[in-house]
Amino acid sequence: MPLTLTHECIVPFAKEHDRITFDCGNDDLNRYLKQQARQDAEKHVAVPFVLLEPGSPVVRGFYTLSASIIPVEELPPDMMKKLPRYGQLPVTLLGRLAVDQTARRQGVGEFLLVDALRRCLEGSQLIGAMAVIVDAKDAQAESFYRYFDFLPFQFTPRRLFLPMRQIAQLFSDLNQKS
């Protein structure tokens, strides 16, 4: 049965959320959600957000956000010219994103990404962040993010970024359509 996707179903991770049956097909991501996510949240290392099955505590997807920095020389030269001459720049790290196998092919990954980008944009208005970055775990993950216009860093190709200005434009365009 397809999930009903609403932003109200994505909430900060809490101990009462049922993550025992979560399986995205990646042992590292499964282990993170089941054993590490709560500790990261309690220690303010990352903020995990979970997509719950409507009316249930069962987790069907998740992502994490945290503050980070990047060396300015990792950015493409044309972009570096437009930014202040700092050695490092603030960004938001989308550290992990995973979808339970039972929720695949329902647009859940895209939905989680859009929700994460919205939160990053809102946060950047309170605490500076010039982009959202991801570290693609494999070619499939890299392809997913590139489909949504993430760009590679110069020296770390699987590390991708999406400028906050571009994210703001995306939501501006979406708001004009609705």
pLDDT of residue 155: 87
Average pLDDT, the chain: 90
- Give residue 85's pLDDT band: very low, low, confident or very high (50, 70, 90): confident
Mean per-residue pLDDT, 106-117:
94
pTM of the model: 0.91
For each of the domains in the chain, give its residue range(s) and CATH number, in order of start.
7-177 (3.40.630.30)
pLDDT score at 7: 61
Indicate whether 51 pLDDT > 70: yes
With a cut of 90, say whether residue 48 has pLDDT above it: yes
Neighbours of 112 (CB within 10 A): 24
Burial of 26 (0-12, 13-18, 19+ CB in 10 A): middle
The pLDDT of residue 134: 97
Whole-number pLDDT of residue 171: 84
List 32, 63, 86, 145, catalytic entry: 145
Q: What is the pLDDT of residue 121?
A: 96
Q: Is 32 a catalytic residue?
A: no
The pLDDT score that the predictor gives to residue 65 is 98
Residue 145 confidence (pLDDT): 96
pLDDT range class, residue 2, cuts 50, 70, 90: low
pLDDT band at 6 (very low <50, low <70, confident <90, very high): low
pLDDT for 106 beyond 90: no
Give the pLDDT band (50/70/90) at residue 14.
Answer: very high
